[in-house]
Structure 1
Amino acid sequence: MKSFPSNPPGASVRLTGEQKNTFWAAWTGWLLDGMDSVIYALVLAPAMKELLPRSGIVPSTGNVAFYGSLLFALFLIGWGLSFIWGPIADRMGRAKTLMLTILVYSVFTFLSGFAQNIDELALFRLLAGLGIGGEWSMAGTLVAEAWPESRRKMGAGYLQTGYYAGFFIAAALNYTVGATFGWRAMFFCGLIPAAVAFWVLVSVKEPALFEKTKAHADTRAPLSKIFDRGYRKRTLVNAALLTIAIIGLWAGSVYEPTAITQLALKSGHSPVQAVHLASLGTGLLSLGTILGCIILVPLAERWGRKTTLALYFSLMIVSIGLAFGWAFYLPHALLPFMFLLFFLGIGGGNFAMFSLWLPEQYPTDRRATAFAFSTSAGRFIGAAVTFLIGSLVHQMGTLGTPVALTAIAFLVGLLIIPGGTETRGLPLPE
Structure 2
Amino acid sequence: MNSVTDRTSVARRRTPLNRSQIVGFWGAWAGWTLDGMDSFIYALVLTPALTELLPRSGFEATPANVGLAGSILFALFLVGWGLSFIWGPLADRFGRTKVLAGTIFTFAIFTGLAATSSNVWELGIYRFIAGVGIGGEWALAGTYVAEAWPEDRRKMGAGYLQTGYYAGFFLAAALNYTIGVHFGWRAMFLTGAVPVVVAILILLRVKEPEKWQKAEAGAARAKPLREILGPAYRRRTWVACILLTIAIIGLWAGAVYEPSAVIQLATRAGMAKGDSIKMASLATGLLSIATILGCLALPPLAERIGRKNTLALYFAGMAVSIVGSFGWAFYLPNGLAPFIAWLFVLGFFGGNFALFSLWLPEQFETRVRATAFAFCTSFGRFVGAGVNFLLGAAVLHMHTLGVPVALTALAFVIGLFVIPFAPETKGEVLPQ
TM-score range, shorter chain: over 0.9
Q: How far apart are 1:102 and its partner, in Å?
A: 0.1
Q: Distance in 2 between matches of 1:278 and 1:337?
A: 12
- The Cα offsets for residues 286-317 of structure 1, whole Å up to 9 and x where unpaired, read as 01100000000011000000000000000000
On the 8 A contact 1:218/1:365 being kept in 2, the answer is no
On the 8 A contact 2:224/2:368 being kept in 1, the answer is yes
Structure 1 gap ranges (5+): 1-7
The equivalent residue for 1:98 is 100
Q: Distance in 2 between matches of 1:127 and 1:32?
A: 16
The equivalent residue for 2:424 is 422
Q: How many equivalent residue pairs?
A: 423
Q: Distance in 2 between matches of 1:297 and 1:422?
A: 14
The equivalent residue for 1:16 is 18
The equivalent residue for 2:148 is 146
The equivalent residue for 1:30 is 32
Q: How far apart are 1:263 and its partner, in Å?
A: 1.0
Q: Distance in 1 between matches of 2:220 and 2:295?
A: 34
> In structure 2, what residue type is equivalent to 1:276?
K
On the 8 A contact 2:245/2:383 being kept in 1, the answer is yes
Residues 312-323 of structure 1 aligned to structure 2 (within 5 Å): 312-323=314-325
Residues 8-407 of structure 1 aligned to structure 2 (within 5 Å): 11-407=13-409
> In structure 2, what residue type is equivalent to 1:261?
I
- The Cα offsets for residues 221-242 of structure 1, whole Å up to 9 and x where unpaired, read as 2100111211000000001100
On the 8 A contact 1:305/1:423 being kept in 2, the answer is yes
Q: Distance in 2 between matches of 1:63 and 1:256?
A: 19
> In structure 1, what residue type is equivalent to 2:109?
V
> In structure 1, what residue type is equivalent to 2:125?
L
Q: TM-score scaled by structure 1? A: 0.97
Q: Distance in 1 between matches of 2:413 and 2:189?
A: 36
On the 8 A contact 1:81/1:376 being kept in 2, the answer is yes
Q: Distance in 1 between matches of 2:119 and 2:217?
A: 49
Taking a change above 3 Å as real, the CA distance of residues 351 and 218 of structure 1, as seen in their structure-2 partners, is: farther
On the 8 A contact 2:306/2:424 being kept in 1, the answer is yes
> In structure 1, what residue type is equivalent to 2:392?
G
Q: How far apart are 1:92 and its partner, in Å?
A: 0.3
Q: Distance in 2 between matches of 1:365 and 1:373?
A: 14
Percent identity of paired positions between Structure 1 and Structure 2: 61
- The Cα offsets for residues 296-353 of structure 1, whole Å up to 9 and x where unpaired, read as 0011000000000000000000000110011000000111101110000011000000
Structure 2 gap ranges (5+): 1-8
Q: Distance in 2 between matches of 1:76 and 1:218?
A: 34
Q: Distance in 2 between matches of 1:118 and 1:245?
A: 29
Q: RMSD in angstroms over aligned alpha carbons?
A: 1.0
Q: How far apart are 1:9 and its partner, in Å?
A: 6.6
Q: TM-score scaled by structure 2? A: 0.97
- The Cα offsets for residues 341-371 of structure 1, whole Å up to 9 and x where unpaired, read as 0000011000000000000011100000000
On the 8 A contact 1:177/1:185 being kept in 2, the answer is yes
Question: What secondary structure does 2:192 align onto?
Answer: helix
Question: What secondary structure does 1:319 align onto?
Answer: helix
> In structure 2, what residue type is equivalent to 1:143?
V
Q: How far apart are 1:66 and its partner, in Å?
A: 1.1
